[in-house]
Structure 1
Amino acid sequence: MATEIDYEALPPNAGFAVNMLAGALAGITEHAVMFPVDSIKTRMQVFATSPVAVYSGVGNAFTRISSTEGMRALWRGVSSVVLGAGPAHAVHFGTLEAVKELAGGNEAGNQWFATSLAGASATIASDALMNPFDVVKQRMQIHKSEFRSVFTCARTVFQNEGLSAFYVSYPTTLAISIPFNAIQFTVYEQVKRFMNPSHQYSPSTHIVSGAVAGAVAAAVTTPLDVAKTILQTRGTSEDADIRNVRGMADAFRVIWRRDGLKGFGRGLTPRVLTIMPSTALCWLSYEFFKAAIRTN
């Protein structure tokens, strides 16, 4: 009788490549599907000077943007995500599995430290690659953005603000992403183990585990995400205080001064709405592509 193969067990000659390819495909799928909601989140987090760019909620933002600017405005900047998400997620998942294996995360039992370490390590590597693409994306998402081309936007930002504009938010991005991914990966693994102790391929398990993990991580890290958006869009602001923001501490001061405690929750609903299904889809896609690639 043939031995049953655990779909999560990597063949020794294909592990890293399989995980990188699966991660790249999962990342592109995840970001492209949920991009319009992400655009709404960016708009809600920006401290707009024009009343027409102030939205009371996700439904209000969707209706007003689509009616005044057209549905295409909600997809502006998606090409930047597609260009960056594939390589960034390939690096993320490749690093994730490599560190997880080295730290003993694939061993039996509750290996929470190894899985958290793997999530944090993967983030440092992938965010270094993705951060410039994210800056371009948000510059294209904001109200009345002058940019319609990723390359035009990147060239203009570089010429006017220098290379530092693409990385001014990197420390804040890491301050978000390291706890986000550590929380996400740990919650995902725990929920997946609880729902699927036999480790069989189970799409419903990956969807539910990914959604729960994404929602928890998104809610906890929203205040930092508001600060990141301010840093990444400061060059387009007409507000002198925002244009002079130099780091996360400056951004926090602006948020507190302008909007108080509630300012740190700007965009919470669309952020959770974006990340819950996108994380569920990402993990579902990742597990599917990993299993499919391995069987070919």
Structure 2
Amino acid sequence: MAEHMPEHLEEIEYEGLSANAGLGVSMAAGALAGITEHAVMFPVDSIKTRMQVFATSPAAVYTGVGNAFTRISSTEGMRALWRGVSSVIMGAGPAHAVHFGAYEMVKELAGGNVEGAQNQWIATSIAGASATIASDALMNPFDVIKQRMQMHKSSYRSAVDCAKTVYRAEGLGAFYVSYPTTLTMTVPFTAVQFTVYEQLKSLLNPHGAYSPATHIVAGGLAGAVAGAATTPLDVAKTILQTRGTSTDPEIRHCRGLVDAFRIIWARDGAKGFVRGLSPRVLTFMPSNALCWLSYEFFSASLSRADVPGLWVEC
């Protein structure tokens, strides 16, 4: 095939494909990457949610990832680990499309695509934070539904059923009570994640050649660092998003981040802020690696279709 292709087409570089493709490709690649990431790691995320909740029943208290997996699968069945995945699939596509689209647009406007620019890391941090603000506005209601369905003995059997029940019982505010906390967590998470990823990618792959291994390593390490650093905020977010399922009056009337932090400190001390740390890191390391690998792959694949003459028949 190569011998029939024009010389200039043979030299097209992988990193150049994404830049030439435009905003639409970034959004489509982001949507596909987001769905892939969340669906694959969903059972571990379910365990993390249960470990972060202050459960009143001993049956819903877990000592670790292995303990949680064994007990949930043996008492509730493996399907319980997948409850709520439909909500993630419905929300992750649009949210990640907006996320990556905003990231690429802001990064370009801030000068982050200028090779050798001194403010490159600042531009990527701003782009990452901006992308998160936009995507979380779309994803937050779906995340609330997901966590309600992940709870021990959840009575919801579909995302639509859960959404209707929560809306009738708690109103529209229930879907956004955690949004400020989510932003407080995900803005630094995304800024750290994108910055670490871009720096590691440049370090491991300075020539910009197509390298799946680079995206896996850089994405995985970036996810682990960002996930661990923001775990305390994630614990608070989980309390806010599942407060409607609690029989504890204090938790049910938790109004925001400050209230959540006060409850965590009063009931579990400093260790309460790292509840679910292991499954969170276990979730973000492979899922972030998969997300970036998928994003870069889909971005390159979709971009190739936009390059005239690239798919020349042999």
* TM-score relative to the length of structure 1: 0.98
Stretches of structure 1 lacking an aligned partner (at least 5 in a row):
none
Equivalent in the alignment of 2:268: 259
The question of 1:190 aligning with 2:199 is answered: yes
Residue identity in the other structure for 1:246: R
Equivalent in the alignment of 1:39: 46
The question of 1:77 aligning with 2:87 is answered: no
Q: Which has the larger radius of gyration?
A: 2
Instruction: Verify the 8 A CA contact 2:20 2:303 in the aligned structure 1.
Output: no
Choose from 105, 110, 124 the match for 1:98: 105
Equivalent in the alignment of 1:200: 209
| 171-180 vs 107-116, which moves further | 107-116
Residue identity in the other structure for 1:141: Q
Cα distance in 1 between the residues matched to 2:28 and 2:204:
26
| 2-11 vs 101-110, which moves further | 2-11
Choose from 274, 286, 290 the match for 1:281: 290
The CA deviation at 1:108 is 1.4
Q: When the two structures are aligned, how many residues end up with a matched partner?
A: 296
Residue identity in the other structure for 2:24: A
Cα displacement string for residues 95-133 of structure 1 (whole angstroms, at most 9, x for unaligned residues): 000000110001112511000000000000000000000
Residue identity in the other structure for 2:115: A
Q: Secondary structure at the match of 2:198?
A: helix
Cα displacement string for residues 145-204 of structure 1 (whole angstroms, at most 9, x for unaligned residues): 110110010000000000000000000000011000000000000000000000011000
The CA deviation at 1:50 is 0.2
Stretches of structure 2 lacking an aligned partner (at least 5 in a row):
1-6, 306-314
Equivalent in the alignment of 2:187: 178
| 110-119 vs 5-14, which moves further | 5-14
Cα distance in 2 between the residues matched to 1:154 and 1:27:
22
Alignment of 1:226-265 (within 5 A): 226-265=235-274
Residue identity in the other structure for 2:48: K
Choose from 68, 75, 78 the match for 1:61: 68
Cα distance in 2 between the residues matched to 1:249 and 1:10:
45
Residue identity in the other structure for 1:127: D
Residue identity in the other structure for 2:46: S
Residue identity in the other structure for 2:145: V
Residue identity in the other structure for 1:211: G
Instruction: Verify the 8 A CA contact 2:227 2:284 in the aligned structure 1.
Output: yes
Cα 1:7–1:217 shift into 2, 3 Å: same
The question of 1:138 aligning with 2:147 is answered: yes
Cα distance in 2 between the residues matched to 1:12 and 1:48:
48
Q: Which runs of 4+ in 1 moved over 3 A?
A: 10-14
The question of 1:2 aligning with 2:4 is answered: no
Equivalent in the alignment of 2:134: 125
The CA deviation at 1:14 is 3.8
Q: Secondary structure at the match of 1:9?
A: helix
Instruction: Verify the 8 A CA contact 2:18 2:26 in the aligned structure 1.
Output: no
Q: Secondary structure at the match of 2:14?
A: coil
Cα 1:188–1:11 shift into 2, 3 Å: closer
Residue identity in the other structure for 2:263: V
Choose from 199, 213, 218 the match for 2:222: 213
Cα distance in 2 between the residues matched to 1:12 and 1:266:
40
Instruction: Verify the 8 A CA contact 2:87 2:142 in the aligned structure 1.
Output: yes
Equivalent in the alignment of 1:49: 56
